Each structure stands twice: as structure tokens, then as C-alpha cells.
């Protein structure tokens, strides 16, 4: 029997992902576990200390980021495929020296979606590499595009962690604020029942809303990282 009671046993399934490019492999190593841990805390742990409305609001925010990123990746893949087709470039001629099969531990449907985005990102890079190797994309543009996409996908993970962390802090503060009020209410109720005093009306105590701020906001879906390609 495990002696460390703080260690939680989580359910998960293993999904094998074949990532061809170094860039997709790097984003997986840096972002997947970070994102998965944050989403598990949001879906399971935070529900024990926060309200359902607060949790759902954060889930909608995170889902919106996933949706926009996935839609933008698919739009850019379609754009690149058109450029490849128009220029007679053969995609299947591009090979990779160190393809890697990674094992993603899926502990929620949102972590499965993030894994799917990484897989589609790897496909986007394959088309980008084909254009770069054929001389259709200059080196500086190639580097800039890679940097912006990697930063965006990693930001989904870091912003999820930041959102959940802030929610945990706010929930603890709220619990600390409500505890003295509850003790006072219990004491007052006891005095009323014993005939010792009149009821004390404190007014409504406001519930702190979880601060979303602007942390982790993604670029608008209308932005085109490949706008220079026409």
C-alpha cells in the first residue's frame, strides 16, 4: 500500500502520437503535461472548492482557445495545400531524420483535443517544410512562422495553468472570508434561540468572481500568420 496519501491515482488512457518534426516534438514535451495537469485540476479538483458556474465559465474560455487554434491550423493547412498544388510540389518527398512516437496520457477529453492539435500542427509543419525546401518560403519567414505557431500552442497550456492557479487562489480567499462570517452567523443564531439578542443583519456578502483578466488571450482567429502567401 502506498504510504504517501497526497498522491492521487488518476484514470487515463495512452494515445500514441507519431510526430515527424522536431518542432511538434518540442511543443509536446513542453506543453502537453502542463496542459493536462491544469485541465485535470480544473475539471476535478476545482469543482470541490469552487462553484459550478465558475468552473463552467473557465471551461468555456479554454474551449474557445482550443477551437480558435484548431480552426486556424486547419485554415492554414488548406492555404498551404493550395500553394503546394499551384506550384507542383510533391509533399510525399519530404522525409524526417528523427520521427518520434510519443505516448500521451489522456486524462480528460480536453487533453485529447490538445493532443489532436499537436498532431495537426505536425502536419502543418510538413507542408511548410515542403515549401521551404523548394525555395518558396525564405528563411526568415520560415523561422518567424514556426516561432509564432509554437508560441501560440504553448500559450494555450500556460494560460490554462494560469487561469486554474488564479481560480484556486480566489477560492481559498473566498473560503477564508466566509469562515469568520459563518462563525458569527452561528453565534448570532445561538443567541437568538436563547433569547439573548436581536438578529444582526450583515447584508449580503459578495462572492468574489474568478478573475480572468487578459492572461493567455489568444490571437484573434482573423489574424493570418501566412498572410504573405497569396
Euclidean distance between CA atoms 58 and 42, whole angstroms? 8
Look at residue 40 and tell me if it is in a domain.
yes
Phi-psi sector, 172: left (phi>0), alpha (psi -120 to 50), beta: alpha
Look at residue 4 and tell me if it is in a domain.
no
Locus of grid cell 496542459: 35
Look at residue 199 and tell me if it is in a domain.
no
Quick: pLDDT tens for 75-131.
999 999 899 888 888 777 789 999 999 999 998 899 999 999 999 999 999 999 999
First CA to last CA across the chain, in angstroms? 63
Cell numbers linked to 11: 484514470
Q: Can you point out the beta strands (E) in 77-225?
A: 100-106
Cell numbers linked to 160: 490554462
The pLDDT tens digits along the chain (230 residues) read 444 445 677 788 999 999 999 999 999 999 999 999 998 888 777 777 767 887 888 888 889 999 999 999 999 999 998 998 888 887 777 899 999 999 999 988 999 999 999 999 999 999 999 999 999 999 999 999 999 999 999 999 998 888 888 777 777 777 777 665 555 555 544 553 444 444 333 443 333 333 333 433 333 434 444 444 43
Domain count, the chain: 1
Look at residue 204 and tell me if it is in a domain.
no
User: How distant, in Å, are the alpha carbons of 8, 11, 137, 143, 181 from that of 1?
Assistant: 13, 18, 58, 51, 41
Number of Cβ within 10 Å of residue 98's Cβ equals 9
- pTM value > 0.75: no
Look at residue 132 and tell me if it is in a domain.
yes
Euclidean distance between CA atoms 68 and 113, whole angstroms? 12
Say which DSSP state 28 is in: I
Look at residue 211 and tell me if it is in a domain.
no
> What range defines the domain where residue 162 resides?
14-180
Q: Is the dihedral of CA 158, 164, 166, 169 positive or negative?
A: negative
Amino acid at each position: 500500500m502506498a504510504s504517501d496519501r497526497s498522491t492521487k491515482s488518476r484514470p487515463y488512457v495512452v494515445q500514441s502520437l507519431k510526430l515527424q518534426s522536431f518542432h511538434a516534438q518540442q511543443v509536446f514535451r513542453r506543453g502537453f503535461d502542463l496542459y493536462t495537469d491544469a485541465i485535470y485540476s480544473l475539471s476535478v479538483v476545482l469543482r470541490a472548492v469552487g462553484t459550478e458556474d465558475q468552473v463552467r465559465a473557465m471551461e468555456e474560455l479554454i474551449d474557445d482557445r482550443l477551437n480558435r487554434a484548431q480552426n486556424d491550423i486547419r485554415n492554414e493547412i488548406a492555404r498551404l495545400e493550395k500553394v503546394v498544388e499551384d506550384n507542383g510540389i510533391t509533399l510525399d518527398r519530404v522525409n524526417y531524420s528523427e520521427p518520434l512516437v510519443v505516448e500521451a496520457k489522456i486524462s480528460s477529453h480536453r487533453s485529447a483535443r490538445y493532443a489532436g492539435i499537436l498532431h495537426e500542427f505536425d502536419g502543418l509543419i510538413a507542408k511548410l517544410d515542403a515549401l521551404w525546401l523548394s525555395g518558396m518560403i525564405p528563411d526568415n519567414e520560415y523561422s518567424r512562422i514556426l516561432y509564432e505557431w509554437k508560441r501560440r500552442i504553448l500559450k494555450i497550456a500556460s494560460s490554462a495553468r494560469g487561469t486554474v492557479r488564479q481560480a484556486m487562489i480566489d477560492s481559498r480567499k473566498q473560503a477564508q472570508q466566509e469562515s469568520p462570517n459563518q462563525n458569527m452567523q452561528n453565534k448570532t443564531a445561538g443567541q437568538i434561540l436563547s433569547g439573548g439578542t436581536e438578529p444582526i443583519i450583515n447584508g449580503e456578502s459578495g462572492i468574489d468572481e474568478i478573475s480572468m483578466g487578459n492572461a493567455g488571450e489568444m490571437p484573434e482567429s482573423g489574424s493570418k500568420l501566412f498572410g504573405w502567401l497569396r
